Amino acid sequence: MSQATGARFEFHNLTKVFGGLVAVNDVTVEAVAGGITGIIGSNGAGKSTVFNLISGFYKPDAGQVLLEGQDLTGRQPHEIAAAGVGRTFQNIRLFQGMSVLDNVRTALHRSLDYNVFHALLRLPKIRSEEKRAEEAALEALELVGMLEAKELTGSSLPYGLQRRLEIARALAMKPKILLLDEPAAGLNPGEVADLVNLIRSINAKLGLTILVIEHHMDLVASLCQKVFAMNFGQVIAGGTLAEVQNDPAVLEAYLGKGASHA
Amino acid sequence: MFWQQVFNGLSAGGIYALIAVGFSLIYSIMRYINLAHGSLIMIGAYIGYAVVTATNFPLIPALLAAAAGTAIVSVIVERLAFRPIRVRGVSTLYILVSSMVVSILLQNLVMVIFGPSFRTLPQLVSDVPVVTHPINIARLDFYMMIVVVLSLVSLNFVLYRTKAGRAMRAVSFNPKAAALMGVNTDRVVSLAFALAGALAGIAGIFLGIKYSVYPQLGELILKGFVASVFGGLGSVAGAVVGGLALGVIEVFLIAYGSSSFSPVMIYALLVLILLLRPRGILGRIVEDKV
Amino acid sequence: MSDYYTGLLVFTCVNIIVTAGLYLLIGGTGLVSFGQAGFLAIGAYTSGLLTTRLNWPFPLGLTGAIVFSMLVGVAIGYPTLKLRREYFALATMGVGEAIRALISALPNFTGGSVGLPGIPQKTTAWVVLLLTVVSIVLVRNYLKSKFGRNALAIKTDELAAKAIAVNVFAQKQIIFAITCGLSGLAGALLAHYITYIDPSMFDWNRSAELVTIVFVGGLGSLTGGVTAAIGVALLPEVLRFANEARFLVYSLVVLLVIIYRPGGLFGNYELSWQSLARIWRKLTGGARKEGAA
């Protein structure tokens, strides 16, 4: 898998208002090119909304999303995905009933060089293209260590494997950046450790820029070079994890007033 | 002349509103498109016909009898044809299709029992107009308007002023949470279908008087669908507004356009509304949320 | 072949062709069109008018029917395919009725509600069989390609499909165009068999019947859809002795299937050489075991 290594990704002054409630307020984040960047914060801090704004599921009211300098602001989700933004969902969204292999193969549709007429007439070209798709899908499955499970139904797998499959599906698109929405949610400690290794190895092998939202501090601590903390829709601190953890604003937000002079 | 046309439109629209209200009620509470609602109206007309020919009841007892009878049929339909699907938790698509088949089934059932012929209800409403000046208001239209208003008012009372109504709105808002809070979903659903059935029964009598009673009477529901999309799916008040608007538009299309093109224009308008303002006049929900 | 059996074959095949297209739409995207009879009407009238008024040859009439139905499908799909499923269902129902009303409203052009007589009888048993097989193969090919996977992705999780760069709207447009094209073809074949068409043949009950066929066959199986289409065409003939009650019996059967077997009669079973071989092995294996016992 050859990826454009270390895509630059940033968004500036993102703002989203839901019926008078400011869910995301003037958020600016610059991801570490080729590295792993974390966004932390409590529930309702606006982290998931940020992801939905970046990937086009919500339209931002203000701000700008830039991938390698290319403006993605306000585009349709499928256009943003096509531009190179891969993502997973907090509550795993696999294609129910599809096999593991087909879940990944579906994500390869853009790299398959044939059109509707080829498909309807099932021209010989299809066979070779589909063969290529299968190989690419297997490659993505190998990357997450799920080759043996390829024939199984995706949604019947244990949670940890479903999460991996979702990552494999996103990787099959050959994205420039990968957004992971609470990847450790619902996993047991063993599965979290596996996941940390997986994300690190993907980052190392592909040099892929990764942005991760997480509650799980162990995961953030062992993966992220740079961390942004959010509270009430705003970024309150940014830097290394140690810097962020000692930031007065963060301490106040997490431990409440008075924590700093206790 | 102009106001007479407006009134004629409103009176036709009253029928559409009556058809649409029950349909809209089920959609607003259950998010089901109940395609069988038209057939329930037809059943209501037949119940009214049977009761009136057997007992010579006047209008109001006949309305009550049809409302009660159709409410029972409606609850039975929900229990037999929708509940098993809902309990299994498969897509509401199946309920849509199930309701469509129920509609065909009821139509054929009536066809087998009563035959395909048209039947006329004995005269329940006198021909003497309520007023003739400045515009002519037929007694039937006048009563219908009163009934539409009464149904809407009492429906609002039930939905917003009673415990059962609160439970219904809770179920419509979030069925799972409502069940956790101790709301008996099954009973609430039955109640909603009983209410919609009663409205269908009332509509059935009026349709029967206006157009006579026959197995395909329920196909008028198509106008009810259009009315509820006009007014906004899922809004009961919208269904009434949409129905009245549809009636007026139709009358003016016929008066100042062409009678043969009026149905085409109505459906074209439907598509146009879906294109420009899919939530209709008073509706809310259009797209699925993320 | 006697006229009776040819007629039965044509009606059955017309059902199969529409079902194949409708299966692609419902089984592929989860959208239900309640106006497909309108598209049968478009196909029937397009070819009927082209061959009678303009003396176009039959193959061109058929082509015209397919193309025009597809164009109308694209035009209708543009505003409606973005909406929720319920809205799409009601909108297509309205469209179906609008098409019928339009045909009735243009008596000078279409013959109005009196109908259009004198359409050349060109649909033979062989023509209809060939086109039915072609239609099934086209739909099967579509489903077996990346487009089929995209469709399934849209049906199961539209958001996840968007997240892997599937242009959901465009995919729905393509599918709805194919669905409408096949309905148009079926309508034209019907018109060129019965030689006389009128708007009442394409009413809402016809649309409803077509949808039930797909659900009885199951949303996961084209084989099921085709089998159900055959069953639905033949059942009224089988139940002929029951007279008026036959539609009652038929709708009762359909209702029971939808309520108690939501996967349809066939679930996800798909007829293929492999599955036939598997059944054969099972049968022969079973026989051998019996022989051994």
> What is the reported pLDDT for B289?
42
Check pLDDT > 60 for residue A262.
no
Contact status of C200 with chain B (Cβ, < 8 Å):
no
Contact status of B267 with chain C (Cβ, < 8 Å):
yes
**The tokens of B101 are what?**
């088949």
Measured in Å, how far apart are chain C's first and last C-alpha atoms? 47
Contact status of C272 with chain A (Cβ, < 8 Å):
no
Q: How confident is the model at residue B145 (pLDDT cuts 50, 70, 90)?
A: confident
> What is the reported pLDDT for B286?
43
Mutate to test the interface with B, among C209, C213, C259 (most CBs of B within 10 A): C259
> What is the reported pLDDT for B27?
87
Give chain C's domains with CATH numbers.
Answer: 3-268 (1.10.3470.10)
- If one compares B219 and B39, the residue with the highest pLDDT of the two is B39
Q: How confident is the model at residue C276 (pLDDT cuts 50, 70, 90)?
A: confident
B120-134, C41-55, C201-215: segment of lowest average pLDDT: B120-134
Check pLDDT > 70 for residue C124.
yes
Instruction: Please state the rounded mean pLDDT for residues B139-160.
Output: 85
Closest C-alpha among B196, B153, B192, B151 to residue B172: B192
- If one compares C234 and C192, the residue with the highest pLDDT of the two is C192
Q: Nearest-5° angle of CA B46, CA B82, CA B236?
A: 70
Give per-residue pLDDT as tens, C172-185.
999 999 999 999 99
Closest C-alpha among B6, B21, B2, B8 to residue B223: B21
Closest C-alpha among A125, A137, A151, A173 to residue C141: A125
Cα torsion through C180, C186, C191, C193, rounded to 10? 170
> What is the reported pLDDT for C111?
87
Show residues of chain B in contact with C228, CB under 8 Å.
Answer: none
With CB atoms and an 8 Å threshold, state whether C205 touches B104.
yes
**The tokens of C145 are what?**
């390609």
Is residue B54 within 8 Å of residue B184, measured between CB atoms? no
Check pLDDT > 60 for residue C134.
yes
CB atoms near residue C162 (< 10 Å) = 24
Domain count, chain B: 1
The distance of Cα B190 from the centroid of its chain, to the nearest Å, equals 17
Mutate to test the interface with B, among C32, C93, C252, C260 (most CBs of B within 10 A): C93
> What is the reported pLDDT for A3?
44
In A, minimum Cα distance to B290 occurs at A57
**A:140-169 residues touching chain C, CB 8 A cutoff:** 169
Chain B residues near any Cβ of chain A (below 8 Å):
290
- Residues with Cβ within 8 Å of B128's Cβ and at least 6 positions away in sequence, in order, are B139
Ordered DSSP codes for chain A? ----SS--EEEEEEEEEETTEEEEEEEEEEPPTTSEEEEEE-TTSSHHHHHHHHTTSS--SEEEEEETTEE-TT--HHHHHHTTEEE--SS----TT-BHHHHHHHTTGGG----HHHHHHT-HHHHHHHHHHHHHHHHHHHHTT-GGGTTSBGGGS-HHHHHHHHHHHHHHT--SEEEEESTTTT--HHHHHHHHHHHHHHHHHH--EEEEE-S-HHHHHHH-SEEEEEETTEEEEEESHHHHHT-HHHHHHHH-TTSTT-
With CB atoms and an 8 Å threshold, state whether C146 touches A119.
yes
CA C117 to CA C126: how far, in whole Å?
Answer: 24
Is residue B244 within 8 Å of residue B20, measured between CB atoms? no
How far A52 CA sits from the closest chain B CA (Å)? 9
> What is the reported pLDDT for C243?
64
Mutate to test the interface with C, among B104, B262, B286 (most CBs of C within 10 A): B104
Assigned domain for B175 exists = yes
CA C191 to CA C119: how far, in whole Å?
Answer: 7
Contact status of C36 with chain B (Cβ, < 8 Å):
no
Q: How confident is the model at residue B60 (pLDDT cuts 50, 70, 90)?
A: confident
With CB atoms and an 8 Å threshold, state whether C248 touches B109.
yes
Contact status of A55 with chain B (Cβ, < 8 Å):
no
> What is the reported pLDDT for C59?
94
Assigned domain for B286 exists = no
At residue C146, the 3 state secondary structure works out as helix
CA C292 to CA C286: how far, in whole Å?
Answer: 10
Assigned domain for B281 exists = no
Q: Nearest-5° angle of CA C15, CA C18, CA C19?
A: 80
In B, minimum Cα distance to C256 occurs at B81
At residue C284, the 3 state secondary structure works out as helix
- Domain of B95? 2-125+133-276
Backbone CA torsion sign across C274, C278, C283, C287: positive
Contact status of A23 with chain C (Cβ, < 8 Å):
no
Q: How confident is the model at residue C43 (pLDDT cuts 50, 70, 90)?
A: very high
Averaged confidence pLDDT in chain A: 89
Q: Mention the CATH class of domain A9-98+174-255.
A: alpha beta
> What is the reported pLDDT for A100?
94
How far A47 CA sits from the closest chain B CA (Å)? 15
With CB atoms and an 8 Å threshold, state whether B267 touches C95.
yes
- Which chains share 3+ C-beta pairs under 8 angstroms with C? A, B
Check pLDDT > 90 for residue C189.
yes
- Which chains share 3+ C-beta pairs under 8 angstroms with A? B, C
Show residues of chain C in contact with B225, CB under 8 Å.
Answer: 90, 93-94
Check pLDDT > 50 for residue A1.
no
Check pLDDT > 50 for residue B287.
no
> What is the reported pLDDT for C287?
54
How many CB pairs below 8 A link A and B?
Answer: 3
Contact status of C119 with chain B (Cβ, < 8 Å):
no
With CB atoms and an 8 Å threshold, state whether A93 touches C157.
yes
Show residues of chain B in contact with C262, CB under 8 Å.
Answer: 85, 88, 90, 94
Strand ordering across the sheet containing A70-71? A21-30, A9-18, A62-67, A70-71
Assigned domain for B55 exists = yes
Q: How confident is the model at residue B265 (pLDDT cuts 50, 70, 90)?
A: confident
Check pLDDT > 50 for residue B92.
yes
Nearest to B222 among C204, C251, C252 (CB): C204
Q: What are the structural domain ranges in chain A? A: 9-98+174-255
Give per-residue pLDDT as tens, B226-257.
888 888 887 888 888 899 999 999 888 888 87
- Residues with Cβ within 8 Å of C238's Cβ and at least 6 positions away in sequence, in order, are none
> What is the reported pLDDT for A149?
87
Show residues of chain C in contact with B78, CB under 8 Å.
Answer: none
In A, minimum Cα distance to C177 occurs at A116
How far B135 CA sits from the closest chain C CA (Å)? 31
> What is the reported pLDDT for A4?
46
Show residues of chain B in contact with C97, CB under 8 Å.
Answer: 222, 263, 267
Give per-residue pLDDT as tens, A154-185.
888 888 899 999 999 999 999 999 999 999 98
How far B62 CA sits from the closest chain A CA (Å)? 48
Strand ordering across the sheet containing A226-231? A85-87, A177-181, A209-213, A36-41, A226-231, A234-239
- Which chains share 3+ C-beta pairs under 8 angstroms with B? A, C
In B, minimum Cα distance to C257 occurs at B98
At residue C124, the 3 state secondary structure works out as coil
In A, minimum Cα distance to C146 occurs at A109
With CB atoms and an 8 Å threshold, state whether C244 touches B97.
no
How far C47 CA sits from the closest chain B CA (Å)? 22
Assigned domain for B290 exists = no
CB burial of residue A77 (10 Å; 0-12, 13-18, 19+):
buried
Check pLDDT > 90 for residue C129.
yes
Contact status of A78 with chain C (Cβ, < 8 Å):
yes
Q: What is the CATH number of the domain that holds B8?
A: 1.10.3470
Show residues of chain A in contact with B290, CB under 8 Å.
Answer: 52, 57-58
**B:241-260 residues touching chain C, CB 8 A cutoff:** 258, 260
Show residues of chain B in contact with A57, CB under 8 Å.
Answer: 290
- Residues with Cβ within 8 Å of B122's Cβ and at least 6 positions away in sequence, in order, are B52, B53, B56
- Residues with Cβ within 8 Å of B265's Cβ and at least 6 positions away in sequence, in order, are B253, B257
CA B125 to CA B193: how far, in whole Å?
Answer: 28
Instruction: Please state the rounded mean pLDDT for residues C268-287.
Output: 74
Give per-residue pLDDT as tens, C64-77.
999 999 999 999 89
How far C218 CA sits from the closest chain A CA (Å)? 15
Is residue A11 within 8 Å of residue A238, measured between CB atoms? no
> What is the reported pLDDT for B5?
86
> What is the reported pLDDT for B283?
66
With CB atoms and an 8 Å threshold, state whether C90 touches B225.
yes
Check pLDDT > 90 for residue A101.
yes
